[in-house]
Amino acid sequence: MQTDRQPADAPAPATDSILGFTVPGRSARGRVVRLDATLDAILHAHAYPEPLARVLAEALVLTALVGSTLRGDEGQMTLQAQAKGGPVDLLVCDYRGGELRGYLRFDPARIDEVGPQASLQTIFGDGYLAITLDQTASDERYQGIVPLEGDTLAQAVERYFESSEQIPTLLRIAVARDAGRWRAGGLLVQHLPASELGGPRLHVERGHPDWEHVAALGGSISAAELVDDGLPLDMLLWRLYHEEETRVLPAVALTRGCRCSAAYIKGVLARFSEPELAEMREADGMVKVDCAFCATLFHIEV
């Protein structure tokens, strides 16, 4: 196993970071992520019932895994579930340059319907999952959509990659809560055309022996390993892939990030007419707006 880090560098962090890797001999790449304080900060801002906090935690891990595969730091990846018929009708997460944020919308009267092992059908009813990639540098925007089907969001995202991108993908996610603190971890492994990794292009297919091998090794990861904050991410990769020639990329720190600001909200409010603004003003003359992503409450004078 090789690493791009110099020997003098600090070891890879155990948490709130993401580590990329490739297995060039098998035309595979992947990401491994662990979230701790970042996840705790996002979830505590919303105070969702526990089963829904778990759903959002899983979505945030998926967003970090997929978003960090974007080239460059400027792109944004958005994962959005829209549905009707279940307790949750909207879930949105995005990732940009190591910054994560997310929220969901639910009907409090129906929260009892969501048990610990609730399926996507139970949580969302019928809906779809959209993954949008915005490459800021090139102004390119790409969106792929799959039905919200399967037991978990991770399964829906695996299907997204298979159907929209023809990229065989393995995802494993775990979420834990100890003494009120949230932790989560995830692994993504993908089989890519070799051209993207510097070799001749391969025909990508699910049954390819190289893919079967890296997927079997990746699939051996346990939920306990994914959320063990005493197990650094590079050690976790070593456990999975030490028999392969694996290249590990520099770790990227993950933080809770939101791009809301009073100036931005003021700009949005400026598009409303004076009678509409008069409706929105409260007794003190201010308009109160809260950011859906981070729950920050703004008092705006317009």
Beta bridge partners of 91: 81, 104
* Residue 97 vs 193, nearer CB to Zn ion: 97
- Cα–Cα distance measured from residue 296 to residue 91, given in angstroms and rounded to the nearest whole number: 18
Name the residue nearer to Zn ion (CB basis): 235 or 260.
Answer: 260
Residue among 106 and 293 whose Cβ is closer to Zn ion: 293
CA atoms lying within 13 Å on the CB side of residue 53: 20
Least distance in Å: CB of 64 to Zn ion?
18
Scanning the chain, the segments in alpha helix (DSSP H) are 37-46, 50-67, 120-124, 153-164, 209-219, 223-227, 233-241, 262-269, 274-280
State the minimum distance, in angstroms, from the CB of residue 88 to Zn ion.
20
CB atoms within 10 A of CB 285: 9
Q: How far is the CB of 296 from Zn ion (least distance, A)?
A: 5
- Residue 209 main-chain phi, psi, to 5 deg: -60, -35
- Alpha carbon of residue 128 to chain centroid: 16
Residues that bind Zn ion (CB under 5 A): 258, 260, 291, 293-294
State which residue, 94 or 134, has the beta carbon closest to Zn ion. Answer: 94
Whole-number minimum distance, CB 285 to Zn ion, in Å?
A: 23
Q: Is the CA virtual torsion 282, 284, 285, 288 positive or negative?
A: negative
Closer of 18 and 294 to Zn ion (Cβ): 294
Comparison of 251 and 258: residue with beta carbon closer to Zn ion:
258
Q: How far is the CB of 39 from Zn ion (least distance, A)?
A: 16
Contact, 21 vs 3, CB < 8 A?
A: no
Supply the minimum distance, in Å, between the C-beta of residue 260 and Zn ion: 3
